Amino acid sequence: MIDIKVNKKTNNKNQKKIQKLTIKTKKKIIEKEFYYRKKLFETCCFERKKIEILLNLVPKTGKILEVGCGYGFLSLLMLSKKRKIFATDIVKGISKKPLLKGIVFRKIDKEKFPFKTNNFDCLISTDVIEHINNESNFIKECLRVLKSDGKIILATPNIYRLSFWLKTFILKQPKFPNRVNFDPIFGSDQHLREYSKKKLVSVFKKNGWKNIKIFGYGFGLNNFCNLSNIIPQPFDFFSSYFIIQAKKINYI
């Protein structure tokens, strides 16, 4: 099942709060959150460089799918005359404003992504896999919807990033699930797990991917722009994020 596992008591309270929101209020929140992410891209060097690296990896033409699109800002940045952009998530957080008119959104509400097999040239997913209950099913679904020569681009936090060691030495080692945020539309935001470089590559290989490339990005010091770059080996062990690219093996 492609779902997000959360603490039941906390989640029930949060869901009640979300259900009480009127459609008008939800629309306002969605617009506010979208522009917050736009401002973050413009002002936060760490986020901007991460997104720029991801965009440079996306093919210039073809059908592109973003899985876990959130409020649609990355999907918007990918829009061009030569690309057709599709987006999906567990909740519709994409505004209907003309700004996002070119994006085809479909909600995930079943075990499979709401798209046909062998459909996309590229699939991109950022800050998603660490929230997913069934990681193998998620990766297999990514495999299924891509064309035979399609590729995946995925970004996820590195469990051994600098902040992990600081927390371990000063406080205690972080445990999972780990609640990191509460979103007014998407609800409780928890990391069920995080990945080392070795573990992430292993999960991809086990689920049928080939030509896997992985690199680290940033040291997690958001205000230090000169540290917000691709991190060379072996120093990527401490990087903030891993960005992985992989190609599809013929899906059966």
Tokens of 112: 């499979």
pLDDT: is 175 or 122 the higher one?
A: 122
The pLDDT value recorded for residue 30 is: 82
Block residue for tokens 């979208």: 34
Give the separation between CA 201 and CA 32, rounded to whole angstroms.
36
Would residue 2 count as lying in a domain? no
CATH code at 182? 3.40.50.150
Would residue 69 count as lying in a domain? yes
Tell me the CB-side half-sphere exposure of residue 229, using CA atoms within 13 A. 8
The pLDDT value recorded for residue 13 is: 53
Q: What is the share, in percent, of the chain residues with pLDDT greater than 90? A: 45
pLDDT band at 4 (very low <50, low <70, confident <90, very high): very low
Would residue 1 count as lying in a domain? no
Burial (Cβ within 10 Å: 0-12, 13-18, ≥19) of residue 226: exposed
Identify the domain containing residue 169 by its residue range: 8-248
Would residue 166 count as lying in a domain? yes
Number of structural domains in the chain: 1
The pLDDT value recorded for residue 252 is: 44
Would residue 169 count as lying in a domain? yes
Return all residues near 231 (Cβ < 8 A) that are at least 6 apart.
Answer: 215, 216, 217, 218, 219, 238, 239
Per the CB < 8 A criterion, the answer to whether 95 and 27 are in contact is yes
According to the 3-state scheme, what is the secondary structure of the chain?
CCCECCCHHHHHHHHHHHHHCCHHHHHHHHHHHHHHHHHHHHHCHHHHHHHHHHHHHCCCCEEEEEECCCCCHHHHHHCECCEEEEEEECCCCCCCCHHHCCEEEEECCCCCCCCCCCCEEEEEEECCHHHECCHHHHHHHHHHHEEEEEEEEEEEEECCCHHHHHHHHHCCCCCCCEEEEEECCCEEEEECCCECHHHHHHHHHHCCEEEEEEEEECCCCCCCHHHCCEECCCHHHHCCEEEEEEEECCCC
What digits encode the pLDDT tens for the residues 28-87?
Answer: 888 888 888 888 888 888 888 899 999 999 999 999 999 999 888 999 999 998 999 999
pTM of the entire predicted model: 0.86
The mean pLDDT of 107-133, rounded to a whole number, is 92
Burial (Cβ within 10 Å: 0-12, 13-18, ≥19) of residue 16: exposed
Would residue 195 count as lying in a domain? yes
Would residue 124 count as lying in a domain? yes
Would residue 118 count as lying in a domain? yes
